[in-house]
Chain A
Amino acid sequence: MGYVQRILYVHVSVAWCGLASCLAMGFCAAMYLGSRRLPWDHWAQAAAEVGWLCTTLTLVTGSVWAHEAWGTWWTWDPRLTSSLVLWIIYAGIVLVRGSIEDPHARARIGGVIALIGTCDVPLVIMATRWFRGVHPVAPEMDTRMQLVLLASVLIYTALFAHLLRHRQIQLRLSEQVAQLEADEWQACAGRWG
């Protein structure tokens, strides 16, 4: 494969982060639906955004790799198709969340879609084993390549965990500012109204 195999280091790492984000999103959505506490929803929303970014990058890097390895940008392989379904689920969650004003309604509807979306994760992981396709199952690798891949996965995981944490803090701050704004509107309305 030559130089092109180096795409693998970023492709596998972002694919892993995309799947992990989906599991994190599902867990946080379940916690919100159980407790109705908004901080859980902030985590779920941050995970949805980071997961969407990772899955987009998985599809793009995988497509470039496929073009070099298989001679085509896209094929309806089970692993590729289930990954595309995951991307559509993430995009749907982000769009639905963006269109609802009320924080609890947004969290409730987003949470239900997130839980449904989490069901796609086992399908993506097991697609190469359950169905016949062209995507490699577990390719043979040199020990040095395995070490580089492991380091890459760890670094990307740390980076996306950092992004996730920061986005969650920002969403909490956004909630506080919205609350301050609402309080001020109420105070002004009371004073002049």
Chain B
Amino acid sequence: MTTVLITYCIAWGAIGAYTAWFTIGDLRLRQRKASFESTPASRSSIARQVTTAA
């Protein structure tokens, strides 16, 4: 009984971890895309990096 429970926990834990990993990645990507679309290019993080470097 314990062996079966542990096996199912490992299986669902792995599936849950993979889902959580790419859900977090998805949220970050969506935020990044939204920031590109909402911020004028001149005030973006890339523009700041270029200004600092110059």
Give chain A's interface residues, CB within 8 Å of chain B: 3-4, 6-7, 10, 14, 49, 53, 56-57, 60-61, 64-65, 68, 159, 163, 166-167, 170, 173-174, 176-177, 180-181, 184-185, 187-189, 191-192
Chain B contacts for A7, CB-based, 8 A: 3-4, 7
Which of A56, A167, A170, A177 makes the CB contact (< 8 A) with B36? A177
Chain B contacts for A184, CB-based, 8 A: 36, 41, 44, 46-47
Instruction: State A101–B15 Cα separation when bound (angstroms).
Output: 27
Q: Which residue of A lies closest to B18 (CB)?
A: A53
Chain A contacts for B26, CB-based, 8 A: 166, 170, 173
Chain B contacts for A68, CB-based, 8 A: 3
Query: Which of A163, A187, A188 has the most chain B CB atoms closer than 10 A to its own CB?
Result: A188
Among B19-48, those with CB < 8 Å from A are 19, 22, 25-26, 29-30, 32-33, 36, 41-42, 44, 46-47
Instruction: Say whether chain B's binding surface is mostly helix, strand, loop, or mixed.
Output: helix
Q: How far is the CB of B13 from the nearest CB of chain A, in Å?
A: 10
Q: How many residues of B contact A (CB 8 A)?
A: 28
Q: How far is the CB of B34 from the nearest CB of chain A, in Å?
A: 10
Q: Which residue of A lies closest to B31 (CB)?
A: A177
Instruction: Say yes or no: B22 contacts A167, CB within 8 Å.
Output: yes
Q: A173-B33, A188-B46 are in contact. List 8 more A-B contacts (CB 8 A).
A: A3-B3, A57-B11, A57-B15, A166-B26, A185-B46, A185-B50, A188-B47, A189-B50
Instruction: Say yes or no: A177 contacts B18, CB within 8 Å.
Output: no
